[in-house]
Amino acid sequence: MPGTSIFAKQFMAKKKKKNSSGGGLLLVIVLLGGFYFWATHWMLNKKQKPAPPVVIHLAPIVPKPDAPVHYPIHGIDVSSYQNDIDWSRLRSTRGRPGVGFVFIKATEGLESRDKLFPQHWKAAGKANIARGAYHFFLSTRDGVSQALNFISLVHLQKGDMPPAVDIEELYGVRPDSMRARLRDFLQTVEDHYQVTPVVYTTATFYNDFLGKGFDRYPLWVASYDSTLQPALRRSWTFWQFNNKGKLPGIGANVDLNAWHSDSASFSSFLQFQSRY
């Protein structure tokens, strides 16, 4: 700078040097701030990044507990709760055991009749699925009268399964009274169809309230805690192993059952119907 004193020149040089140092510091601060902002933004985006899509496997046709495949013949039981059924789709279930038999609700108590029994009964026969009819038993009502309600509706043919009775509750009735009424029902039905009826109940109810007095009847037992065998102290004929099954052709949940042995014994069981 012209005319500037040596002192002034030295002062200006120091100031310029000082300003140069301050600019560098400012640059470092800006860079650090930019890095901090970038890092924060990157971490925030990483946290908010949506998780990869979860692959949801559809429940198998037979949900947990799975089908006890060591019993080769499986079946279902239905009522008006299942509404309309596409019976043609029940013979094959995507590699699972097909539906080989069906128990169909016919009656309940003294007068009640399942509104879809005639439809289900006819359709099951047309689909060539072994069929059987069952009565829902009320412990509070006379056994003979309940049997007559069932007999008035159900007309069995050779090749049908034996009639069945569903007994699950005492409804406040003394166990001995329930047993007497149930025996009356079973005897009346047996006398009419000339075949031993099947008794359906839970493993707990059978163990607690029925027992040896009913051991001569084929047992259809409900037990859902195992895929190996029902929790029972006696032999069984049918096992209802799942009450929330899914099958193509049926919109609602459906009970799933297994026959205790092989196809040869099942054929013999059906041929037993030739007695009437």
The confidence score (pLDDT) of residue 253 equals: 95
Q: What is the largest CA-CA distance in the chain?
A: 139
The confidence score (pLDDT) of residue 143 equals: 98
Phi/psi-derived region of residue 194, left when phi > 0, alpha when psi is between -120 and 50, beta in every other case: left
The confidence score (pLDDT) of residue 62 equals: 42
Known catalytic residue at 168: yes
Catalytic residue among 108, 111, 168, 190: 168
Nearest partner of 224 among 73, 68, 98, judged by Cα = 68
Can you give the residue ranges of every domain in the chain? 11-56, 74-275
The per-residue b/e assignment along 73-89, b for 16 or more CB within 10 angstroms, e otherwise, is bbbbbbbeebeebebee
Place of tokens 């055991």: 97
* pTM: predicted TM-score of the whole model, two decimal places: 0.74
CATH class held by domain 74-275: alpha beta
Which parts of the chain have pLDDT scores under 50? 1-20, 44, 46-65, 93-95, 274-276
Q: Distance of CA 115 to CAs 41, 79, 90, 104, 208, Å?
A: 66, 9, 21, 11, 33
